[in-house]
């Protein structure tokens, strides 16, 4: 190990590390070897109270800070994150097992993009003036208050920043609970924000399992809950938040389609399917796991995919030549193995991969299934692992109908050289984040989020501002008030 990934303490509250070992211990495991690299303790009621007290205090002050100054803090934090990218990336690799080749370019860098973007637009957040003859209405964009963030384990640093940057830009405070599987990097983001000038208590990290998440979702001191997680958790958190009429953002799972037409560039479609199924060992919510390939191209697509999959390097994640890492946990590995077995059992053809490696850690080779049909379990359920299903189609109408036949609607992609068709098809796909001749790009400038069972709300872009602020409208009367009596 190049450095010791153990955190100073479990929680970060009111500008300092806080420990309370009376909480449930949570072991942090390095997925590449299965070694326990740290232990954190779930937040107790006392820890949560400290976090909410400090967040409430800091938020009241922060709301009075000029948006320009808020923006400067976020921009400075972005700069520090970029300067520390290597150390943050190594920590992310310890936490998630994702290869350093990925974490160096997709985690702290994406977090820094969000801090920089929302830092840049903070002072551009204005209300409206609505003329009504002599009278007028003006609107004020106000913060919500204390927001709670609950994270998943696949992109821990990115998730913290995608939620916290717009929240802070709008004048809110944040109490963030990382996934129990990856608790380390959020603490580093807390250090960085403090160093960048955020007041103590504005951003707090509390550790814990689902029950701590549930406590955040129901706490009356929380104005908004933003979850990144699975659809079943989303339903619970949405329902809990409704009890107090809290604002929500739900970034949930998916079973997204990628439609590859006969006239597509084969290399680009195969490359995008690799990115959209095997990057981060397939543990990406927006992955295009149902790859619908038109009849005339299907055989060549499968052949070329199998060929390119031979270039997957499953080595030490800290070695930058490694381009495919382990799954995040033993449990996730078992879930993925279960789905692969189910695919075979239900009659899909396992063309390549899908084998567990005989070594420590949670390693499965990327799996390619051909001959998958719509009703098979691997075509219906989110696997959240490196399992690509190829489904054959004949007509455009058929592909669209089958692609939409899912309770989810996070992403969708189309590969074709016919641009009229590309736009026509995208127009009919029910998904929030779509791609034409590309897959899984998530620039901070673009709204990100799902429709149907994949969630509500949008992260990133100007759209996120609406989800971390509320409008006050003020009617101004210039003349006398006319009352009936």
In the region spanning residues 192 to 211, those forming contacts with ligand NAD, defined by CB under 6 A, are 209-210
385 near ligand NAD, judged by CB under 6 A: no
CB-nearer residue toward ligand NAD: 199 or 213: 213
386 near ligand NAD, judged by CB under 6 A: no
Task: Rule CB under 6 A: choose which of 253, 288, 326, 353 binds ligand NAD.
Answer: 253
Question: Which residue among 251, 382, 396, 459 is the active-site one?
Answer: 251
CB of 181 to ligand NAD, least distance (A): 6
**Measured at CB, which residue is nearest to ligand NAD?**
213
Tokens of 257: 């389609």
Closest CA to 270 of 251, 236, 297, 241: 297
CB-nearer residue toward ligand NAD: 18 or 217: 217
DSSP state of 61: H
382 near ligand NAD, judged by CB under 6 A: yes
Q: How far is CA 301 from the centre of its chain?
A: 29
Binding map of ligand NAD across residues 267-296, x = CB under 6 A, - = no contact: ------------------x-----------
CB of 433 to ligand NAD, least distance (A): 9
In the region spanning residues 428 to 467, those forming contacts with ligand NAD, defined by CB under 6 A, are 455
Task: Return the half-sphere exposure (C-beta side, CA atoms, 13 A cut-off) of residue 268.
Answer: 17
CB-nearer residue toward ligand NAD: 115 or 217: 217
- Residue 441 neighbours by CB under 8 Å, 6+ apart: 435
CB of 237 to ligand NAD, least distance (A): 5
Tokens of 84: 């520390």
CB-nearer residue toward ligand NAD: 210 or 371: 210
237 near ligand NAD, judged by CB under 6 A: yes
CB-nearer residue toward ligand NAD: 277 or 294: 277
CB of 412 to ligand NAD, least distance (A): 14
Binding map of ligand NAD across residues 395-424, x = CB under 6 A, - = no contact: ---------------x--------------
Residue 155: burial class (beta carbons within 10 Å; 0-12, 13-18, 19+): buried
Give the integer Cα–Cα distance in Å for 343 and 332.
17
Report whether 411 contacts 288 (CB < 8 A). yes
| Distance from the first to the final alpha carbon of the chain | 80
In the region spanning residues 144 to 183, those forming contacts with ligand NAD, defined by CB under 6 A, are 150-154, 177, 179-180
Binding map of ligand NAD across residues 332-371, x = CB under 6 A, - = no contact: ----------------------------------------
Give the integer Cα–Cα distance in Å for 333 and 327.
6
CB-nearer residue toward ligand NAD: 141 or 452: 452
Task: Rule CB under 6 A: choose which of 228, 280, 329, 389 binds ligand NAD.
Answer: 228
User: Taking the CA atoms of the chain, what radius of gyration do you get in angstroms?
Assistant: 23
Residue 221: burial class (beta carbons within 10 Å; 0-12, 13-18, 19+): middle
- Looking only at the bridges linking them, the beta strands covering 16-18 and 11-13 are antiparallel
Tokens of 480: 């006398």
- The per-residue b/e assignment along 400-420, b for 16 or more CB within 10 angstroms, e otherwise, is bebbeebebbbbbbbbbeeee
CB-nearer residue toward ligand NAD: 90 or 382: 382
Tokens of 171: 């004048």
DSSP state of 281: G
Task: Rule CB under 6 A: choose which of 252, 351, 376, 378 binds ligand NAD.
Answer: 252
Stretch of 131-139, 163-171, 198-206, 222-230 lying at the interface with ligand NAD (CB under 6 A): 222-230
CB-nearer residue toward ligand NAD: 150 or 173: 150
Closest CA to 257 of 396, 366, 106: 396
Task: Rule CB under 6 A: choose which of 145, 183, 213, 453 binds ligand NAD.
Answer: 213
Give the integer Cα–Cα distance in Å for 204 and 210.
18
Give the integer Cα–Cα distance in Å for 210 and 232.
12
Tell how many helices (H) and how many strands (E) occur in the chain. Answer: 16, 20
Question: How many residues bind to ligand NAD according to rule CB under 6 A?
Answer: 28
CB-nearer residue toward ligand NAD: 65 or 285: 285
Stretch of 34-42, 52-60, 233-241, 399-407 lying at the interface with ligand NAD (CB under 6 A): 233-241
Check if 83 is active-site. Answer: no
Give the integer Cα–Cα distance in Å for 235 and 230.
9
Give the integer Cα–Cα distance in Å for 413 and 270.
12
3-state DSSP assignment of residue 178 = coil
Residues that bind ligand NAD in the complex, under the rule CB under 6 A: 150-154, 177, 179-180, 209-210, 213-214, 217, 228-230, 233, 236-237, 251-254, 285, 382, 384, 410, 455
Residues annotated as part of the active site: 251
């Amino acid at each position: 190990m190049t450095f010791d990934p153990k955190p100073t303490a479990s929680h970060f509250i009111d500008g300092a590390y806080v420990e309370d070992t009376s909480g449930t211990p949570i072991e942090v495991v390095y997925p590449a070897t299965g070694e326990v690299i740290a232990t954190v303790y779930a937040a107790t009621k006392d820890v949560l109270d400290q976090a909410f007290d400090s967040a409430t205090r800091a938020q009241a002050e922060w709301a009075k800070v000029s948006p320009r100054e808020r923006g400067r803090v976020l921009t400075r934090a972005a700069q520090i994150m970029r300067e520390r990218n290597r150390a943050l990336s190594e920590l992310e690799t310890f936490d998630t097992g994702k290869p350093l080749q990925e974490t160096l370019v997709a985690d702290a860098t994406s977090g820094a993009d969000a801090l920089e973007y929302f830092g840049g637009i903070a002072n551009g957040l204005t209300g409206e003036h609505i003329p009504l003859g002599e009278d007028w209405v003006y609107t004020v964009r106000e913060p919500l208050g204390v927001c709670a963030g609950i994270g998943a384990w696949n992109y821990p640093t990115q998730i913290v920043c995608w939620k916290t940057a717009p929240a802070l830009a709008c004048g809110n405070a944040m109490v963030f609970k990382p996934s129990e599987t990856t608790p380390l990097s959020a603490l580093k983001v807390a250090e960085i924000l403090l160093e960048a000038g955020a007041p103590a208590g504005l951003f707090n990290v509390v550790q814990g399992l689902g029950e701590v998440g549930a406590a955040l979702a129901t706490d009356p001191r929380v104005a908004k809950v933003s979850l990144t997680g699975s659809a079943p958790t989303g339903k619970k958190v949405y329902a809990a938040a409704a009890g107090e009429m809290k604002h929500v953002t739900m970034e949930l799972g998916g079973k997204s389609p990628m439609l590859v037409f006969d006239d597509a560039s084969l290399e680009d479609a195969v490359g995008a399917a690799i990115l959209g199924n095997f990057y981060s060992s397939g543990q990406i919510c927006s992955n295009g796991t149902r790859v619908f390939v038109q009849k005339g191209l299907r055989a060549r697509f499968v052949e070329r995919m199998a060929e390119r999959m031979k270039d997957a390097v499953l080595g030490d994640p800290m070695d930058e030549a490694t381009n495919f890492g382990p799954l995040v946990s033993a449990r996730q590995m078992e879930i993925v193995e279960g789905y692969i077995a189910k695919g075979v059992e239900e009659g899909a053809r396992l063309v390549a991969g899908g084998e567990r490696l005989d070594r420590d850690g949670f390693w499965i080779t990327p799996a390619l299934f051909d001959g998958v049909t719509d009703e098979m379990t691997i075509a219906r359920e989110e696997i959240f692992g490196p399992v690509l299903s190829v489904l054959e189609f004949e007509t455009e109408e058929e592909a669209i109908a089958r692609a939409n036949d899912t309770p989810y609607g996070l992403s969708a992609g189309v590969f074709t050289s016919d641009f009229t068709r590309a736009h026509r098809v995208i127009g009919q796909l029910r998904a929030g984040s779509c791609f034409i001749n590309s897959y899984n790009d998530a620039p901070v400038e673009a709204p990100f989020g799902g429709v149907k069972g994949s969630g509500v709300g949008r992260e990133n872009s100007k759209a996120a501002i609406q989800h971390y602020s509320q409008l006050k409208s003020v009617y101004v009367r210039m003349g006398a008030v006319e009352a009936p009596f």
